[in-house]
Amino acid sequence: MEPVAIIGVGQTVFGSNRKDQTYADLVYEATTAALADAELTIDHIDNIVTASNDFFDGRTISSMAVGDACGAAFGNGKSISTVEGDGSFAALYGFSRILSGSYETTLVIAHSKSSEGDLRLLTNAFFDPLTERSLGLDWVSAAALQARVFLKEKNISNIQCGNVVVKNRASGAKNPKAHVRKPLTIDEALRSPLLSAPLKETDVCPSSDGAAALILAKESFARKKSPHPIWIRGMGLCADAPFGERNLAESKALRLAAQKAYQMAGIDQPTKQIDVVELSEQFSYQELLWMEELNYQNSSRVNLSGGCLSAHAWIVSGLARMIEASLQLRGQASNQAANVKRALAHGQYGLCGQSHSVWVLEN
């Protein structure tokens, strides 16, 4: 298999202050940033994969609203396709397209805004209309059920969850792209009001607006054109049974996705062999759960960007994790670790992490 590289990355600043900008504005900002980072123009890109969700955008075929803004204008001879799910899943689609041999470079772009719709109503619509929706669950209350069973089964205290929040918020304070940039003390985390027990306000990620873009290239192109290629050495994707039909205290899908990625990358001791990890934790307990399934024990090397607890735009988050992991490998991260040779990035989608992608990246 010819290796594939990440040769350009771009992110908007995440925040609720992007209210005055359209989806297309955000996508254009991230796309032009990624092209500038790769030292390329749109003419070098031969195909584009967008990620969005029609429900969040409040329109059908939500990718069409951003076509021009990501250089995918109809009639320009570029192939364009769309993923409804996390941006890291769109990256897998882009990765596969390059492996097919039909394309040299793929632009992957993801966008969403939490400020335009009502997240409680929108995520309530994730549930089955025949048996679940009228009971009023949303993404937070569903996660509270998962937190309850996971914390009990693993005997994890709310102080341990609070420590995750404190750690990620301290890192996020250093990240100029983060939404929440205010550090938090453990006392503040523990005194935070309950939203849906056992989840407190500070256990939940912020609801952000933003976009992120990633440029992938096949090896021959990357070696010729890229000043800083980051190589994809391992990848795994796995979907679990729906919410309500699986054991929420574990994530078999993440475990299997990680196994596939580790096998591809030749990893048998993840904690020892992986220098930094970027996780998609929408809630504090999820960082602990995902680390367990990844068999990764060094929490001080997890989410140096601040993670989702510092910035979370739906759809965009997994791609943002891949970007932050790439920046660590390039030595250009806002909260840079020393000697990073191998990084892991993780994306998830669905209620309580139904589907997961795991990426092993090297410089």
Stretch that binds another protein, among 15-23, 214-222, 262-270, 309-317 (CB under 8 A): 15-23
Q: How far is the CB of 109 from another protein (least distance, A)?
A: 13
Q: Which is nearer to another protein, 22 or 207 (CB)?
A: 22
Amino acid at 235: M
Give me 278's structure tokens: 């970027």
**In this structure, are residues 202 and 191 in contact, taking their beta carbons and an 8 Å threshold?**
no
What's the closest the beta carbon of residue 314 comes to another protein, in angstroms? 15
Q: Comparing C-alpha atoms, which of 10, 41, 90, 3 is closest to residue 327? A: 10
Determine if 125 is a binding residue for another protein (CB under 8 A).
yes
The distance of Cα 84 from the centroid of its chain, to the nearest Å, equals: 14
* Distance of closest approach, residue 70 Cβ to another protein, in angstroms: 9
Rounded to whole angstroms, what are the CA distances from 32 to 27, 42, 77, 293?
Answer: 8, 9, 19, 36
Please report, as residue ranges, which positions from 141 to 200 form the binding site for another protein (by CB under 8 A).
none
The candidate with the shortest Cα–Cα distance to 89, out of 319, 247, 336, 279, is 319
For 301, other C-beta atoms within 10 Å of its C-beta total: 18
- Binding piece for another protein, criterion CB under 8 A, among 127-135, 188-196, 224-232, 320-328: 127-135
Name the minimum Å distance from CB 71 to another protein: 5
Binding mask 17-56 for another protein (x = CB under 8 A): --xxxxxxx--x-------------x------------x-
DSSP code string of 223-269: HHH-SS-EEEEEEEEEE-PPTTSS-TT--HHHHHHHHHHHHHHT-S-
Q: Length of the chain, please?
A: 363
Q: Which amino acid is at 73?
A: A
The one-character DSSP state at 77 is S
Binding residues for another protein, total number by CB under 8 A: 31
Task: Give the x/- contact pattern for another protein in 58-87, rule: CB under 8 A.
Answer: x--------xxx-xxxxxx-----------
Q: Residue 137 or residue 161: which is nearer to another protein going by CB?
A: 137
**Please, which residues bridge with residue 347 across strands?**
357
Q: How far is the CB of 217 from another protein (least distance, A)?
A: 19
Cα angle: 280, vertex 2, 362; to 5 degrees: 40
Instruction: Based on the shown chain and the rule CB under 8 A, indicate whether residue 104 belongs to the binding site for another protein.
Output: no
CB atoms within 10 A of CB 125: 11
Exposure string of 237-269, with b = 16+ CB inside 10 Å and e = fewer, is bbebeebeebebebbebbbbbbbebbebbebee
Neighbours of 75 (CB within 10 A): 5
Residue whose CB is less far from another protein, 72 or 302: 72
Least distance from C-beta 343 to another protein, angstroms?
31
Q: For another protein, which residue of 81, 96, 115, 160 counts as binding (CB under 8 A)?
A: 115
Please identify which residue in 117, 183, 198, 244 interacts with another protein, judged by CB under 8 A.
117
Of the pair 120, 148, the CB lying nearest another protein is at: 120
Q: How far is the CB of 129 from another protein (least distance, A)?
A: 6
User: Which residues of the shown chain bind another protein in the complex (CB under 8 A)?
Assistant: 19-25, 28, 42, 55, 58, 67-69, 71-76, 113, 115-118, 121-122, 125, 129-130, 134
